[in-house]
Amino acid sequence: MLVLCAPAKHEIIVRNSRFIAEAVPVGSAEEARDVLRQRKEEYADASHVVHAFIVGIGASIMGCSDDGEPAGTSGRPALEVVKGSGISNIMVTITRYFGGTKLGTGGLVKAYTESVQQLLASAQTKEWVATRAFSLQAPYTLYEPSKKILLTHEAEISDEVFADEVTLRGTMRESAIASAEQQLQDLSRGKISLQVEDDSGDHATP
């Protein structure tokens, strides 16, 4: 599954109508709706603000709207392009300023499809992997070798606290936790263990 590295924007003009396509990362349907509200405020004078979004692993939540365009000519074609891209956790809006010439049903489908295709072609994406937040406590004598084990397993250490012992906190790929835990146990003869949060998070690797 892919996710966006950053928001993206692309504009095309079809028979004097402007199609401003924008994509942003979102983590829920509620966030997607918030983005839509913002776009409608930003482009209050636009003819239409069509949208399509996909959220979750395996595209578990998705939605779209034609926003006044003829049924099936805009939101659904936009959603099909997003689905085909393999990108999730994404909200796409296509803002149209009518240029005075009607495009017809086929012309609208083509315009909205091409708008989103070109938008996503220009967007930067990265692979999504599941991660978990962790913490561990280690004596000073085992601080460096413990940290080395974490870094070998591509952990991202976000905090180090030096008190009676050293506390390390960060995130790690879910698939690497068991191996890291075993190596820490072997290193410390069972005295060091990873404390892993119950809720999984998400992270994207380039």
User: Is pLDDT above 90 for 162?
Assistant: yes
Domain 127-205, CATH: 3.30.70.240
Average pLDDT over residues 120-132: 91
How many whole angstroms separate alpha carbon 129 and alpha carbon 140? 32
Asked if 66 and 73 count as a contact pair (C-beta separation under 8 A), the reply is yes
Residue ranges of alpha helices (H) inside the chain are: 29-42, 75-85, 104-122, 143-152, 177-188
How many whole angstroms separate alpha carbon 99 and alpha carbon 111? 13
How many whole angstroms separate alpha carbon 115 and alpha carbon 104? 16
Average pLDDT over residues 161-169: 96
Domain 2-123, CATH: 3.30.230.30
In the numeric block, which tokens belong to residue 17? 């109508």
How many whole angstroms separate alpha carbon 36 and alpha carbon 24? 11
Average pLDDT over residues 30-35: 97
Return the bridge partners of 2, or none.
87, 127
pLDDT score for 169? 96
Q: Pick the range with the lowest mean pLDDT from 21-25, 118-122, 160-164, 191-195.
A: 191-195
Asked if 74 and 93 count as a contact pair (C-beta separation under 8 A), the reply is no
How many whole angstroms separate alpha carbon 84 and alpha carbon 145? 45
- φ/ψ region of 111 (left if φ > 0, alpha if ψ in -120 to 50, else beta) reads alpha
**Domain spans of the chain?**
2-123, 127-205
pLDDT score for 199? 55
Domains 2-123 and 127-205 share a fold: no
| Whole-structure pTM value | 0.73
Asked if 167 and 135 count as a contact pair (C-beta separation under 8 A), the reply is yes
Q: Which of 140-177 are b and which e, b meaning 16 or more Cβ less than 10 Å from the residue's Cβ?
A: eebeeebbebbeebebeeeeeeeeeebebebbbbbebb
